[in-house]
Chains A and B, each alone.
Chain A
Amino acid sequence: MLRWIDERLGVAHWARKGLRKVFPDHWSFLLGEIALFCFIILVLTGTYLTLFYRPDAAPVIYDGPYEPLRGREMSAAFESVLRLSFEVRAGLVMRQIHHWAALVFVAAIVAHMVRVFFTGAFRKPREINWMVGVTLLVLAIGMGFTGYSLPDDLLSGTGLRIAYSAVISIPFVGPYLAFLVFGGEFPTEGIISRLFVLHVMLLPAVIIGLIGAHLGILWRQKHTQFAGKGRTERNVVGKSFWPQQFFKSFGLMLLTGAALALLGGLVQINAVWSYGPFDASAVSAPSQPDWYVGWLEGAIRLFPAFEPTIFGVTIPSMFIPAVVIPGIGFTVLALWPFIEQRVTKDRVMHNILDNPRDRPARSAIGVGGILYVTLLTIAGGNDVLALTFNVPIEAMVWFLRIGLFVIPVIGGFITYKVCKELQSSRARPSRRNKGTRLRRNTEGGFEEVPSDSQS
C-alpha cells in the first residue's frame, strides 16, 4: 500500500520524518490540542445541525409538541430549532454538545494563549504564529456570536440588537455600515441568512485555513521546550510522534469528546424554548451573553454616561467601550511579541521556554491583563451577581468602575514581587519535594545523591 503511493508521490521519506517528529512531554502543551479537538467536534455536530436548521426569518405558527408555545407566531428559524430539540431523535443532545463545545473551544484557546504568553513561546521565530493564534481567537469569538444568534430566540435577538448599536457608533460611516451588514434598520428579515452564511461557510473556511497555517508553521519551526537536562536552544527532546504521542493525542481527543458528550447530555444549555421567539419590543431580564463576550458586555455596562457633542458631532456612549477598547485590546495582543522586543531589545532565536518567574515584568503585565478582562467579565454579569448576593447594582457598578483601574495594578505588583521572591529563593512550589537521597559509601559514611539522578 505504502509502496503503491510512494511510487506515485514519493512520500516515504517525508512520512518517516513526520512519524519521527519529536514532541516534548508537558501537560500544558495539550491545551492547544484540546482547542483543535473542540473544533473538530464543532464541525461534526454542526454539520448535523445544519441538516435540520432553516435560516429563514419568514413567520410561521408553531404547531409542535412544546405546549407553552403552541399557536405562537415565530420565525421559521426558531421553529426549526424547536423541532430539532423536541422532535428530531438525538437532535437536542447534538445541539447541546455543539454549544458546549463552542464554550470549551474558546476557553481552550484562551488557556493555550495564556500558556504561550507566560512562557514566552511567542518570541522569535514564532511571532507570526502568535498573530495567527490571536486572529483565530477573534474568529472563534465571531463564530460563537454568529452561532448564538442563529436560533432567533429572544436572547439572541437582544445580542444582535447590541451588536447593531455598536456598528452604528462607528464614526460617520456607522449607520451606512450597519444598514449594509444588517440589510436595513434593525430588526431585518435578512440577517438570519447572512449570519448563517458567515457561521457555516465563510468563518469556518477561514478558521480551517488558519489552523492549517498554525500547525504548518509549528511543524516547520518545531516545538519549544522547558529547560532541562540535555535540552538546548538547538534541539528538541521528547518522544517521537508515532506511536506514543499519536495515541496520547488521539486519546485526548476522545476524552474531550466524552467530556462534551456528558456536558451536552446532562447540563442543559441555551434552552431557547424558555426564552421564546424574538420580539423587537421585549427583552428578558437577566439577559446574558455566552462567557467569551462577557468582557465586552461588561465594558459596555461599566462605561459611564459620557456622550459629548463637539461642533455638532455626537460621540455615542457605545463607541469607546464597544469599538475603541476591543480594537486597542486585540491590537496590543496581536503585536505583543514586537512590543516586547522593542522594550527588551531581545532579537535572538528562542526555543527554550521562560519560567514565568524569570520574566517578572511580563508576568506582572499578564496577570494585570487577566484581572482586567476578568473584572470586565464580572461586570457583564453584574445584574445576576447583584441579585445573587443581594448587593445594590449601583454599588456594584461603582466598585467595578474603580476596581478596573486599581485591582489589575495591585495584582501586577504582587505578581512582580512574588516572581522576584521565587527567583531568589529558588523554591519550586509546583514540584513535589522528593526528599534527599543518601547513599552509604564503602567507608561507612553518607553522601547525598542528586535528586534528579533517579527520576
Chain B
Amino acid sequence: MRPVRWVYASFVVSMLGSLGLVVYYLIGESAQVEGILLGLALGGMGVGVIGWATRLMDVPTVVEEHESLESDDSAVAQTEDMVGQDAVTRRTMLLRLATGATATLGAALAIPALSLGPRPGQSLEETKWTPGARIVDRFGSPQRPDDIPLDGIKTVFPSGFEGEADSQTVVIKIEPELLDLPEGREEWAPEGCVAFSKICTHAGCPVGLYRAEAKQLLCPCHQSTFDVTTGCTPVFGPAARALPQLPMEVDEAGFLVALSDFQEPVGPSFWNMETE
C-alpha cells in the first residue's frame, strides 16, 4: 500500500488546530476564531481517519448469513405455558383483586401530580380590572384621553397591577365618527378612546401592531387582524373571536377608568368557557 501524504498531513493539521485552540483560549475571546480552530482540530482528524480507512485499509468484502430470528414453535408454546401456568391463571378472583389493587395503586401514586398547579377556577374568566380601576401605563401614570395621540396606541394596565399579563390592554384613539361599535357599547369610547384586551384570542400573543391607516390591530405571531372600528372583530387570519373590549369612562378628575372587568374571557378560547 502506498503511503498517502494528505492522510499524514491531516493529522498534523488537527494537532495544529488543537494547539492553536489551547493558545487562543488563553489570549483571545472571539467565537469565530474558536470555531475555526475547533473545526480544524476535529476536521483534520476526521479527514485523516477516513483517509486511513479508505486508502490504507485493504479489507475484503465479507458475507454474513441471517440466522432465523424466530424461535421454533415448541419454545414459544413452552414460554406461554410457563407464563400462563395454573397457579397464576386459575386464581380468577385473586387476578381480579391484583388488577384492582394495581389500578388503585396507580391512582394513589399519580395523585401528587395535582400539586403541580392550582385549579383554574375563575382565573381564565377574570382579570385584575375592577369597576373604577384607573387606567395607567406600565410605569403607573394615569391616562387622560389627551395623553393618547389621535391614531396612537398605548399599552395600559389597571392601577396597581402594572405589567400584569392577563390584564394587559391597549387603548387606541380614533376619530369618534369612524367608530361603529356593537350595540350597547356606544358609551365605552370617551373622546374616541377604545380599550381592548391585548391578548390575542387565537394563541395568546400580545396584539401589538396597529395599522393606523386601516384602523386594524395585527397580531405579529400568526397575523390575525382585528378591525378596531367595529369593536376588534377578526377580519383576517386564524383568530375567530373579537378581542374583548374594556368598558371605560372618564372620571371627575378627567382620567380614564374602567367601568368593570372584561365581559368575556380574554385570550385563547377553551371548550367550557362561558359564552353568551
Contact = CB atoms under 8 A, between A and B. Distances in A.
A317 B47 CA distance: 52
B238 A303 contact: yes
Nearest to B205: A283
A92 B31 contact: yes
A239 B59 CA distance: 7
Interface string B258-271: 00000000011111
Given A158-B205, A306-B240, 20 more contacts: A21-B64, A90-B34, A93-B35, A162-B203, A168-B124, A172-B271, A179-B118, A185-B120, A233-B66, A239-B59, A253-B46, A255-B46, A258-B39, A262-B35, A283-B205, A301-B222, A314-B270, A314-B271, A316-B271, A393-B223
A307 B62 contact: no
B206 A281 contact: yes
B270 A175 contact: yes
A60 B145 CA distance: 35
Contact of B204 (A164, A174, A306, A312): A164
A269 to B, nearest CB: 11
B46 A258 contact: yes
B54 A248 contact: yes
Residue in A259, A261, A282, A286 whose Cβ sees the most chain B Cβ within 10 Å: A261
Contacts of B48: 251
Contacts of B223: 301, 382-383, 393, 397
Contacts of A187: 165
Nearest to A281: B168
Interface string A336-353: 000000000000010100
A351 B65 CA distance: 11
Interface in B29-54: 29, 31-36, 38-43, 45-50, 52-54
Contacts of A281: 138, 155, 163, 165, 168, 198, 206
A28 interface: no
Interface residues of B, number: 75
Interface stretch (B92-100, B109-117, B175-183, B188-196): B109-117
A208 interface: no
A166 B49 contact: no
Contacts of A252: 46, 50
Contacts, number: 261
Interface of A: 20-22, 89-90, 92-93, 96-97, 125, 158, 161-162, 164-166, 168-169, 171-172, 174-176, 178-187, 220-222, 230, 233-240, 243-245, 247-248, 250-255, 257-259, 261-266, 279-287, 297, 300-307, 309, 312-318, 321-322, 349, 351, 382-383, 393-394, 397
Interface of B: 25, 29, 31-36, 38-43, 45-50, 52-54, 57, 59, 61-66, 69, 113-114, 116-120, 123-124, 138, 155, 163, 165-166, 168, 198, 202-206, 208-209, 220-224, 234, 236-241, 267-273, 275
A240 B59 contact: yes
Contact of A243 (B53, B113, B238): B53
A393 B238 CA distance: 13
Given A185-B166, A248-B53, A265-B31, A397 B138 contact: no
B35 to A, nearest CB: 1
Contact of B268 (A165, A259, A264): A165
Given A252-B50, A265-B34, A393-B223, A258 B42 contact: yes
A425 B116 CA distance: 63
Contacts of B123: 184-185
A251 B55 CA distance: 13
17 contacts: A166-B203, A176-B120, A184-B117, A234-B66, A239-B62, A252-B46, A253-B46, A257-B46, A261-B39, A265-B31, A281-B138, A283-B221, A285-B209, A300-B238, A314-B273, A317-B239, A318-B202
Contact of A240 (B62, B267, B271): B62
Contacts of A254: 42-43, 45-46, 49
A103 to B, nearest CB: 15
Contacts of B31: 92-93, 96, 264-265
Contact of B203 (A171, A181, A258, A300): A300
B117 A285 contact: no
B64 A236 contact: yes
A314 to B, nearest CB: 5
Given A313-B272, A318-B268, A305 B239 contact: yes
Contacts of A184: 117-118, 123
A253 B273 CA distance: 52
B43 to A, nearest CB: 3
B50 A247 contact: yes
A245 B61 CA distance: 12
B50 A251 contact: yes
List the 8 closest pairs (A to B, CB-CB), nearest first.
Answer: A265-B35, A254-B46, A258-B43, A307-B240, A285-B220, A251-B50, A247-B53, A280-B165
Contact of B66 (A176, A181, A322, A351): A351
Contacts of A316: 268-271
A175 B268 CA distance: 11
A313 B270 CA distance: 9
Nearest to A247: B53
Contacts of B53: 243-245, 247-248, 251
A280 B66 CA distance: 59
